[in-house]
Structure 1
Amino acid sequence: MIDFDQGEEDTRSAPPWMATFADLMSLLLAFFVLLLSFSEMDLERYKTIAGSMKMAFGVQQQVKVDDIPKGTSIIAREFSPGRTIPTPIQQVQQATQDTTRPSLQVGTPEDTLAELDDEQTRALLERKLAALERETAADAEHLRRILAEEISKQNVDIESEGRFITIRIRENGSFPSGSATLTADFLPVMGKLRAALAEIPGEIAIEGHTDDVPISGGPFQSNWALSTGRALSVTHELLRHPSLEDRRMMVVGYGETRPFTSNDTAEGRAGNRRVEIVVRQALSVSEE
C-alpha cells in the first residue's frame, strides 16, 4: 500500500474547472436533445431543397443502359464544360435535346449517336418534303390542264413553289376597269376552278391587287377598297356551291402595295391589276 505525503498536492485528480465544464457540456447536450425532440422534419421540403442543390451544382442522373438519357443544359446554352472523350469503360452515355432529364453538355458531339440520329432524321424529313412538293406540283399541273384555254389567252397564270400554288387571275377578261364585278364570260371559268379546288387540299387565300394609279370617283374610294372588293367577288363566286368549305377561305386586299411587275408601263400596270388565289398546303398529312 502506497502512503502519500500529506504535505504534497495530489496531482492524479482533475483540475477543479473540469467539473464545471463537464456540467455545462451535459446541460448543452440535454438542451439540444430537447430541441431535437420538439422539432418536426418536413420530408417533402427537404427533398425539394436537396434536389435544387443537386441541380444547381450540375449533378447528372445516371440511367440504365437500356433507357436513353435525355436532357439539356441547366446552366446556360452558351456554356459547355467540354466534349466527351471516349474511354475504355463499357458505358453508354449520351446527351440529347429533350428536357425530361438534365445534362451538363450543350449540343451533341460530332461522334455521338445522337448526331447520327439527327442526320438520319433530317434526311428523312428532306425526302418527305420533296415528296410533298412533288404532290403540290402535280396538283398545279392538274389545274393547268383544266384551265389550259384561259392560260393560252393569258387571262390566268398558274405557278407552284414548294407547298404553294398561285392561280393568278388577270383583270383582262375577268373584271371591267374600275369594277369589282366578275364578267359573265368569266363565270364558267370560276365554275371549273371551283370544282378543281374542291379536290385539292390546303387553305385558300384570295388576294386582291391593283396598280398604283389613284382612284378618282366611282364606287371605290381607294385601291384598297377595289382590291378587297375584287377578292370578295371571287370568294363569293367560289362559295356559290357547297363543294368548297368556307373555313378554308381567307380574303385579303393588298391594294398597290405588292406589285407583280413594274408600274412604269401600261403593260406592267395591267399585270398588277389581278386577283391571286393562293393554295397553301400543309407540310404533313396530319396538319391538313
Structure 2
Amino acid sequence: MAEKKKKRLDCEQVPPWMITFADVMTLMLTFFILLVSMATIDQRRKLVALGSIIGTFGFNKQSYDLYSKKDTKKTVEPGPMDTGDLEPLKALKWENVDDDINFRSNRFVQILSIDASLLFGPNGTTLSDRGRATLDGFLPLLRQVRYPLLLAGHTSELRDEFGRNYQPGQDSENPDLSWKLSLHRTLAIYTYMLDNGIPADMLRMEAFGKFRPHYPQDTPENRRRNRRVDIVLDKRLGSLGDRIVETLPAREDRKDTLNVGGFEFDVSTPEELR
C-alpha cells in the first residue's frame, strides 16, 4: 500500500491554468469554424450575384447557374458590349502591323486616326478601293454611335504629297494648297459616310492642312504619319441637330398690338383671334 501511494505522488499533476487554457482554445476553434462556415455561405451569395451581373451585361440575356455540373461552354458566350462610342475600334491598333491605324482616348474624347495612304493615292482626293474597304469595316459600328463625329483632315509639307510636281513657293499661296488638299479628302470621306447610312446631323468636318501636325515634320517618316484623317468623338457633345434646335429662339404667336403711352392694346381682328 505504501508503494502504490508513493507512485501516485511521483506523477506530475496538470496545472489548473492548463485546463482553462485548453477550454478557451476549444471555444476559439469553435468560433472560427463558425466564422468560416458563414463566410462560405456569403461567398456563395456573391457568386450567385456575380452570375446575374454577367448575364445582364454582355454575356447572356439570362443569368446562368454557376454550380451547374453541365457543360456551359456552349451556352455562355461573350457578347458585344453596346458602348455607343469608338471603344470597340481600339483593338485595331494592336491588330494593324503597318501602323496605319491609331487610337487615342481619354475620359471624354476618342480619336481614330487613319493614315492617308490607306485611304487615298499619292496627291489624290478620291477614295481608293482599299480606302473604301477600310471604311466599310468601320461603318457598322459608326452607325450605332450615339455621339456626333468630327472628320478632321490633315496633311504635311506638300513636297512629300506632290513629289516631283512640287514647286517651291506653293506653300505660300493663299489659300494654302495643303489646306485645300485636306479639305477635299475629308469631304470625300464625309460624302461616303452619308451615302452609307451615317446621319448628316451626326457628322462634322474640318480641314487643318499642315498646321496641326501630330509629329515633328523633320523626317519623311514623320511627315507621312502626319498625313491622316481623324475620326473624333467627344462624349461631352450631344446630337448636332439637338444643339441647333436648342439655340433657336422660342416661337411666339404673332399678335397685332398698339402701344400708347406704355400700354399695349390688342387690335387683332375677330378672324385672327379664332
Higher helix share: 2
Indicate the structure whose relative CO is greater, using CA pairs within 8 Å and at least 6 residues apart: 2
Q: Which has the larger radius of gyration?
A: 1
The two structures have a TM-score, normalised by structure 1, of 0.46
